[in-house]
Amino acid sequence: MSIIKRDFYARDTLIVAKDLLGQVLCRKVNNKICKGIIVEVEAYTQDDPACHAYKGLTGRCASLFAEPGTAYVYLIYGIHNCVNISTYKKGYGSGVLIRALEPLQNIENTNGPSKICKAMCITRELDGKDVKKMNSGLWLEYGEKIPKNKIVQTTRIGITKAADYKWRFYIKDNKFVSKL
DNA sequence: GATAAGATGTTA
DNA sequence: AACATCTTATCA
């Protein structure tokens, strides 16, 4: 397994989102390593009304504007954390929300964006971390390539704006994709 | 099985 | 006031 490099993230957000399927999200806490295969994602860009970066750079979403391959971790509904990876280029607010994982190592039950964070101890301390470095405690590695006919593209979940954008991608027939 | 409601805190 | 969610309760 090798770590995913900058070039991967420095592309169009939709492409990165699709290509993240099958890659492996890794987290090190208390000398334990957790791993899971990414099976479901959503793309968000600065031109997208549903994106936190739509209204421009704010304190909360600054990580979306950072170098490609930066973690954006935020609190939603007062209770739950969600994790994104910033994409495209520095100064442009875009990223990919990791919605579901297939457990590989030291985790289970990760069929939702906040469940991932709970299972892997991803908190807002990780906001702004560089996921291209293992010593951030959170990074991604190359996994299996997913054949095109196994990738489903559809509408995003839990948003009210731009609800017609088909910017959600998941692996067909995978048990760990979140429910409607 | 399905659907509805409640928890909860940060943000602009 | 809105919010990129999850769990529990209450039906059937």
The tokens describing A59, both together, are: 């304190």
* Rounded Cα–Cα distance for residues A32 and A179 (Å): 29
- The answer to whether residue A78 scores a pLDDT higher than 80 is yes
pLDDT-derived band at A1, boundaries 50, 70, 90: confident
pLDDT given for residue A179 in this prediction: 81
Q: Tell if A124 CB is < 7 Å from nucleic strand B.
A: no
Is A79 within 7 A of strand C by CB distance? yes
Q: Render pLDDT for A112-166 as a digit per residue (tens, 0 to 9).
A: 999 999 999 999 999 999 999 999 999 999 999 999 999 999 999 999 999 999 9
What nucleotides of chain C have any atom within 7 angstroms of a protein Cβ? 2-7
pLDDT at A180: 65
Residue A49's contacts (CB-CB under 8 Å, 6 or more residues apart) are A161, A162
Look at residues A36, A25, A93 and name the one whose alpha carbon lies nearest to residue A63.
Answer: A93
Q: What is the distance in angstroms measured between the alpha-carbon CA of A115 and the sugar C1' of C7?
A: 12
Q: Under DSSP, is residue A13 helix (H, G, I), strand (E, B) or coil?
A: helix
pLDDT digits (tens, 9 = 90+) for A10-66: 999 999 999 999 999 999 999 999 999 999 999 999 999 999 999 999 999 999 999
| Strand C at less than 7 A from CB of A146 | no
Helix, coil or strand: residue A118: helix
Separation of CA A149 and C1' B10 in angstroms? 40
User: Which positions of chain B lie under 7 Å from any protein Cβ?
Assistant: 7-12
Helix (H) or strand (E) holding A114: helix A113-120
Separation in Å: B3 C1' and A155 CA: 21
Q: Is strand C in 7 Å reach of the CB of A78? A: yes
Task: Provide the CA A95 to C1' C2 distance, Å, integer.
Answer: 21
Q: Stretch A86-99: mean pLDDT, rounded? A: 98
| Nucleic strand B under 7 Å from the C-beta of A64 | no
